[in-house]
Structure 1
C-alpha cells in the first residue's frame, strides 16, 4: 500500500508506519469473505461490519482501514502501561490489529511489557503464528517482521 493513500485517509505517524505493515499482510480484498478462522472479513482485515460477498470501493476500504487502525491504537494504548518507542508501538499495533484486543489484553506479551521487560515482550511475538490450530506461513513471516521492528530501537536487544 502506498503511504500517500494512508495519508489521504488521515493516517499519520506511527499509525502510517503500522498501517503499511498491516496492509501488506492483511491484503486488500474488496469483497466480503470468510477468513481462515471463519470470520467474515473485507478490505484490509476489517471484521466489525464486514458483509459476506458485499463489494467495497477503494475509498470505503481506506476509510474502514483508517477507522480500524485508530480504534486498535486506542485499545492498545489503554492496555499498555509503559512508554513505547515508535518501533515498538508500530509492531504492537500490527499485532493487536491481527489478534484483537481480547487476545492482546490476556497475553503474556502484555504482562512482560507492562512489567518493563521490553525485550521479552518483543520476543513473545513469534509465538502467535497459529490460526484455528494451524501454523500459517504468513503469520510466521508477519510475527518475525513485527519482532524485528519491535526490537529495533531497544538498546539492550
Structure 2
C-alpha cells in the first residue's frame, strides 16, 4: 500500500482525474480481455463493466480512453453530489469509491450524507463498511478502502 500512497503524493497538484486514475488503476489492475470479476460480472480493462461481454478485447489505448471517459462520469457525479469543499485528493478518493461501488450506491450512501452534513471524519470512516463482494469481505477491497480513507482525510 505504500506504493500507491507515494504515487498519490507524487500526483498532488496534477488534478483529481490523474490521482483517481492512479488509484483505480492500482486496485483494479488492467485486463485487455473481458473476464468475470469476483461476483461474476463481465469486466474489462480497469474494472469497466457496462456493456461488457466475455470474449471482448480492447487495446491498451482503448482501455485508457475508456478509463478517462468513465472517470469523467464519476467525477461529475461526485462534484454534483457533494456540497462541501474538498481537496483534490479527497475528491479523488470519492471518485475511486464511486467508480467501484457505482454512482447510485454512492449517492444513497451514509458516507455522502455525513460528508454533506459536515461530518468529514464520520464520512471517511464509512469507507470501511464497503469491503464486501458477494456477501463476504475481500482483502483487495479492505486495502482499497483504507487507501481511500487515508486520502479522504488529507
Normalising by structure 2, we get a TM-score of 0.88
Write 1 or 2 for the structure with the bigger share of helix: 2
What is the CA-CA distance between 1:92 and the residue it aligns to?
Answer: 0.7
Alpha-carbon distance between aligned partners in 2 of 1:55 and 1:87, rounded to the nearest angstrom? 32
Match of 2:130 among 128, 131, 147: 128
Alpha-carbon distance between aligned partners in 1 of 2:89 and 2:120, rounded to the nearest angstrom? 12
Per-residue CA shift, 1:30-61, capped at 9, x if unaligned? 00111112221100011113221212100110
Alpha-carbon distance between aligned partners in 2 of 1:15 and 1:110, rounded to the nearest angstrom? 20
Normalising by structure 1, we get a TM-score of 0.86
What is the CA-CA distance between 1:144 and the residue it aligns to?
Answer: 0.4
Alpha-carbon distance between aligned partners in 1 of 2:54 and 2:30, rounded to the nearest angstrom? 15
Alpha-carbon distance between aligned partners in 1 of 2:89 and 2:114, rounded to the nearest angstrom? 17
Gaps of 5+ in 1: 4-11, 153-157
Alpha-carbon distance between aligned partners in 1 of 2:142 and 2:98, rounded to the nearest angstrom? 15
3-state secondary structure, aligned to 2:123: helix
Question: What's 1:103 paired with?
Answer: 105
Question: What's 2:36 paired with?
Answer: 34
Matches within 5 A, 1:4-19: 13-19=15-21
Paired residue total: 143
Alpha-carbon distance between aligned partners in 1 of 2:37 and 2:82, rounded to the nearest angstrom? 28
